[in-house]
Amino acid sequence: MPLELDVTAPSKDSFGAKDTLRVEENSYEIFRLDKVEGSARLPYSLKILLENLLRTEDGANITADHIRALGGWDPNADPSTEIQFTPARVIMQDFTGVPCVVDLATMREAVTALGGDPDKVNPLAPAEMVIDHSVIIDVFGRADAFERNVEIEYERNRERYQFLRWGQGAFDEFKVVPPGTGIVHQVNIEHLARTVMARNGQAYPDSCVGTDSHTTMVNGLGVLGWGVGGIEAEAAMLGQPVSMLIPRVVGFKLTGEIPAGVTATDVVLTITEMLRRHGVVGKFVEFYGESVAQVPLANRATIGNMSPEFGSTAAIFPIDEETVRYLKLTGRSAEQVALVEAYAKEQGLWHDPSHEAQYSEYLELDLSTVVPSIAGPKRPQDRIELSDAKSSFRKSVHDYAEDDQPTPHTNVDETVEETFPASDPAALSFQDETAVPVQSAANGATGRPSKPVKVSTADRGEFVLDHGAVVIASITSCTNTSNPSVMLGAALLARNAVDKGLSVKPWVKTSMAPGSQVVTDYYDKAGLWPYLEKLGYHLVGYGCTTCIGNSGPLSDEISAAIQENDLTAVSVLSGNRNFEGRINPDVKMNYLASPPLVIAYALAGTMDFDFATQPLGQDSDGNDVFLKDIWPTPQEIQETIDSAITQEMFTKDYADVFDGGERWKSLPTPTGKTFEWDPESTYVRKPPYFDGMTAEPAPVQDISGARVLAKLGDSVTTDHISPPARSRPTPRPAAT
């Protein structure tokens, strides 16, 4: 049974790999990779697996033959050798992690009932939970949005938070980061990740499994980790290794430099498209090449985050000077930083552009060829060049909206005045509600369905909605919302827009949900918050929000107009997933974009928009203002990063990261070694797994008479049927 495993048992060390590494005043036991023949040619990610086997070799589950098989890995062969990988730690978010803690609590009761010591039921591997998936954007566009949303969050989740707070005190090796701190993956790379672990006198590569698919964000820090199901995570907590086949590894070479005007989001959407097309399911992806050093850590993390979207198990960057710089910036101790650098160099885990490992498959991207992009309307791999966004929307909208009033097609030689400019649907005269937008001949795109609907609201006045109206424009999710280049880029764009007299369209629900409290600090220091708030981008929470579907409701009037007229509304978000039905039940089409482009679409108010040819509005002198007029330069962004971000911000924000504020500490919380279950609870209930269990469990029996609960078609994911989905229906296209 898992509880009987001894994860600290010494390795059999068949290869004589055990050695001592001295780093300044400290000494660590390590297992040398160069003792295994063939290790030098292995990809970085497989070297981490090799060290794991050397250190955990027990002669039974992990043998010398497994180690030789990994050292002799054939990059061209199909995976066939099964190994047992023991992750260094487990990371969880609150939705998917709660069942793990419930099971541990139930096991304690069972052990107590059988006369045992409940204190013996504890995670054997370090386990950390970040509560980030519960905040919903109920309140937005006002100064008190953050406080109100946190209050509502605690009201909704009080019972669950009390349970987790009990677990925080009851279990060893289990820590909880309270609500309102940041997104799990960002907290992981900014604070929790070690890159190199120092535990029980040993030093070894940090690795983790997590109960969220985007655990791969930590790959950007050189940490091998990926998302698993709750049962696998729970097993890892209890010391059980993860069974896996030695994978194929795709080498992804990076060359060139990112051009001006191109963001990290554009790069990651390009990589996502390439890898999805190539086919990397079940494989590791590893980045190498001369331009790896030019990719900032935040951008590496953005790329690693998207691994589930292109289908790989992991998408990892090796350790190098940039890794060390980031560890220093984020407040890791000098001792830890020194260990990371010394260990990586000693073990051949330090990136050397002149040394190319062997890979199963090869891809290459010249970063200078990347162009501004978005992805949608329902899959993250469906990249669209920004210059083609309008024509792509006009093509895709026919799959969702009936041609009630189709836009006339025009001859490319005609010059057409649009009676309802796509740049400002509100400009449609209420006396001329039959007016229909006409595609400009210059674009040569097909027309689009049109169904103008007048909406009157108490707080935002009157306006007209049509197919393609952007009703949600949210800066959200772990993917981008702590990447300084795009977050400060968005804030500088907001400043420039305000200075030009531009404003967000009244039907757009705006929100700012950073991945880390550090974002708030550097926005404050740079003096950029007032400009964001002027456009409605007030802080709404530190959490996953819109990207997981916690976008909150639209106003009653807008929601009614959409539902009653079957309008095809749009969301634009800086997230990683845009499946149908995920973002909001009123929204059919969802597009992923960089934070600056999220604000740009909020200013435009519609997806039926060409930023190159259509103005976002006019300045005080009546001159047209285009996106290029407010887009900040790379130099300006970098200067702001250099002046606004300090190490002290990270050390301050993470100084008491597990402590929580007064709300957390004031929760009435049970104490004791076992949890006091509330029999009236409809949420946290004691599972029946161990009811009636004896000291000698009954043999496992066959299951008979089982029936299918749900048979689902393509592209229906657990997002639609899991608890966070709140049983909302998936919108169906009106026409196919």
Split at pLDDT 50, 70, 90, the class of 510 is very high
Give the whole-angstrom CA distance, residue 155 versus residue 247: 45
Give Cα 503 to chain centroid, integer Å. Answer: 29
**Residue ranges per structural domain of the chain:** 89-371, 385-402+448-648
**How far apart, in whole angstroms, are the C-alpha atoms of residue 571 and residue 573?**
6
Please check the confidence at residue 323 and state whether its pLDDT lies above 80.
yes
Mean pLDDT of 506-525: 95
CA atoms within 13 A on the CB side of 710: 9
Are 452 and 435 in contact by the 8 Å Cβ rule? The answer is yes
SS3 state at 736: coil
pLDDT at 450 over 90: yes
Give the pairing type, strands 461-465 and 249-255. Answer: unpaired
| Band (570; pLDDT cuts 50, 70, 90) | very high
Q: How far apart are CA 591 and CA 19, in angstroms?
A: 52
pLDDT at position 580 is: 80
Q: Which two tokens stand for residue 216?
A: 């791969």
Helical ranges in 440-590 per DSSP H: 484-499, 517-526, 529-534, 556-565
The confidence score (pLDDT) of residue 426 equals 42
Residue 416 confidence (pLDDT) above 80? no
Give the pLDDT confidence score for residue 722 in this predicted structure: 57
**207-221, 226-240, 379-393, 555-569: least confidently modelled range:** 226-240
Beta-strand runs (E) in 11-155:
18-23, 26-31, 82-85, 89-93, 127-130
Q: What is the pLDDT of residue 412?
A: 28
pLDDT at 421: 39
**Would the pLDDT of 182 be above 50?**
yes
The answer to whether residue 438 scores a pLDDT higher than 70 is no
pLDDT higher than threshold 60 for residue 514: yes
The pLDDT of 493-517, averaged and rounded, is 96
Q: How confident is the model at residue 215 (pLDDT cuts 50, 70, 90)?
A: very high
List the one residue out of 561, 534, 384 whose CA is nearest residue 471. 561
| 411 pLDDT more than 80 | no
Could you read off the pLDDT of 651-692 as tens digits, one per residue?
Answer: 999 999 998 888 999 999 888 999 999 888 888 888 998 888
385-402+448-648 has which CATH code?
3.30.499.10
Question: What's the pTM?
Answer: 0.88
How is 634-653 classified by DSSP, letter by letter? Answer: HHHHHHHHHHH--HHHHHHH
| 140 vs 259: CA distance, rounded Å | 35
Sign of CA dihedral 24, 27, 33, 34: positive
Burial group, residue 52, by CB count within 10 angstroms (0-12, 13-18, 19+): buried
84 has pLDDT over 90: yes
Q: pLDDT higher for 70 or 419?
A: 70
Instruction: Give residue-wise pLDDT tens across range 1-60.
Output: 333 344 557 889 999 999 999 999 999 999 999 999 999 999 999 999 999 999 999 999
Give the per-residue pLDDT at 719: 57
Better pLDDT: 3 or 327: 327
pLDDT one-digit tens code per residue, 91-108: 999 888 888 899 999 999
- Grade residue 293 by pLDDT with cuts at 50, 70 and 90: very high
pLDDT given at position 692: 86
Q: Decide: residue 167, CB within 10 A, 0-12 exposed, 13-18 middle, 19+ buried.
A: buried
Neighbours of 415 (CB within 10 A): 9
What pLDDT, on the 0 to 100 scale, is given for residue 8?
A: 57
Instruction: Write the single-letter amino acid at 537.
Output: Y
pLDDT at 198: 97
Cα(627)–Cα(616) distance, rounded to whole angstroms? 7
Q: Could you tell me which residues come within 8 angstroms of residue 253 by beta carbon, excluding any fewer than 6 positions away?
A: 287, 288, 289, 362, 363, 364, 365
Half-sphere exposure of residue 181: CA atoms within 13 angstroms, side-chain side = 31
pLDDT at 404: 56
CB 227 within 8 A of CB 214: yes
What is the per-residue pLDDT for 543? 84
678: DSSP letter: -
State residue 343's pLDDT score: 98
Q: Give, for 196, the enclosing helix (H) or strand (E).
A: strand 196-199
Mean pLDDT over the full length of the chain: 89
Instruction: Provide φ and ψ at 447, rounded to 5°.
Output: -75, 180
pLDDT at residue number 721: 57
Largest CA distance in the chain: 88
Q: What is the CATH number of domain 89-371?
A: 3.30.499.10
Among 302-316, 448-462, 538-552, 719-733, the range scoring the smallest mean pLDDT is 719-733
340, 319 contact by CB (below 8 A): yes
User: Is 437 a residue whose pLDDT tops 50?
Assistant: no
pLDDT in tens, 582-641: 889 999 999 999 999 999 999 999 999 999 999 999 999 999 999 999 999 999 999 999
Predicted confidence band at 251 (pLDDT cuts at 50, 70, 90)?
Answer: very high
Higher per-residue confidence, 716 vs 415: 716
| 3-state secondary structure (DSSP) of residue 656 | coil
**Residue 385 β-bridge partners:** 373
